[in-house]
Amino acid sequence: MAYLIDGNNFLGFASDSDSSSRKKSSLISRLLQLIRVRGSRVHLVFDGPPDPSLSNFDEFHGRRLRVFYPPLGQTADDVILRILDKHSDRRTLTVVSSDREIKDNARNRGAKVQTCAQFNRTLREAGRLFLELDAEEKKTVKLSSLEVTQWMDLFDSNDKKN
């Protein structure tokens, strides 16, 4: 499953119309949780020029998240439609937007659609699952390499005695 998200449209729904760097960062954090629990791919498209405070996207490479900004003279909607057209199997793509034109174009091209409200529920559920997964991982005891060596030595000496 892959998501193609109209970033500013979602931020406008999830909070006020402010799409500050802090809110974009918060959205990216929530998307990384979704990726972790569902293994989804995410294409996130923002309007305007690239945000310099979010320029360290190297950490997202390999994490199944790509962030796009439109070239000068284009809009996020243009980028979304271009990504839709290039996507090889649109049946596996869910477009997230409450913009009627984007939703209609996505449906006409064979993609699924989620409104911002629906996707917000998806993100909340992913956040809950992420916390459960994180708590479960913290319960798992991890041995240091020294402890592993000590256990190996202990078993090795027991084998020699028998």
* Tens digits of residue pLDDT in 72-112: 999 999 999 999 999 989 999 999 999 999 999 999 999 99
pLDDT digits (tens, 9 = 90+) for 27-62: 998 998 999 899 899 999 999 998 887 766 556 656
Q: Give residue 20's pLDDT.
A: 83
Among all chains, which residue has been given the structure tokens 């950490």? 59
| Other CB atoms within 10 Å distance of the CB of residue 134 | 12
Share of the chain above pLDDT 70, in %: 85
Query: What average pLDDT does the chain have?
Result: 86
Residue 139's pLDDT is what?
A: 66
Mean pLDDT computed over 112-139:
88
pTM score, two decimals?
0.78
Q: Which 3 state secondary structure label does DSSP give 42?
A: strand
Sheet harboring 112-114: ordered strands across?
65-68, 41-45, 2-6, 93-96, 112-114
Q: Coil, strand, or helix at residue 143?
A: coil
Say whether domain 2-161 belongs to CATH 3.40.50: yes
